[in-house]
Structure 1
Amino acid sequence: MSTERKFEGKADEVKGKLKEGVGDATGNEQWQAEGRADQAKGGLKQAGEKVKDAAEKVKDALTGK
């Protein structure tokens, strides 16, 4: 469905991995936690969009589109 939302989700994951990596390198626990949270947020956005895509395909199959 929304390519933009999928991209936002992937961007959040990448940002989270970078933030967590900096937190790991510096011993900053807050950045580590924020990085993990950003990754989770990004994953949820992507999963939500995949569910929407699947629902749209089912709808199209049922309506013959």
Structure 2
Amino acid sequence: MGAHEKVSNKIDDVAGKAKEAFGKATDDHSTEAEGKIDQAKASVKDAVENVKDAFKK
């Protein structure tokens, strides 16, 4: 996994956590759900990159 992908995925995860927290704070369930989805996407990207790395070895 390249450094760029790691940083990008971490940024997506942190942004998702922030969006989820904002949604909770404002009682906006839609924004909260979007934050959870953003975090899930980041996790999937990490998993895909890890699989790619495993096949490169």
Q: TM-score, normalization: structure 1?
A: 0.80
* 2:17 alignment counterpart: 17
> Could you list the runs of 4 or more consecutive aligned residues of structure 1 that deviate by over 4 angstroms after TM superposition?
none
Structure 1 residue 35, shift from structure 2 partner: 0.1
**Bigger CA radius of gyration:** 1
Structure 2: distance between partners of 1:47 and 1:8:
14
Give the CA RMSD over aligned residues: 1.0
Percent pairwise identity: 47
**Where does the alignment leave 5 or more consecutive residues of structure 2 unmatched?**
none
* 1:36 alignment counterpart: 36
Aligned residues: 57
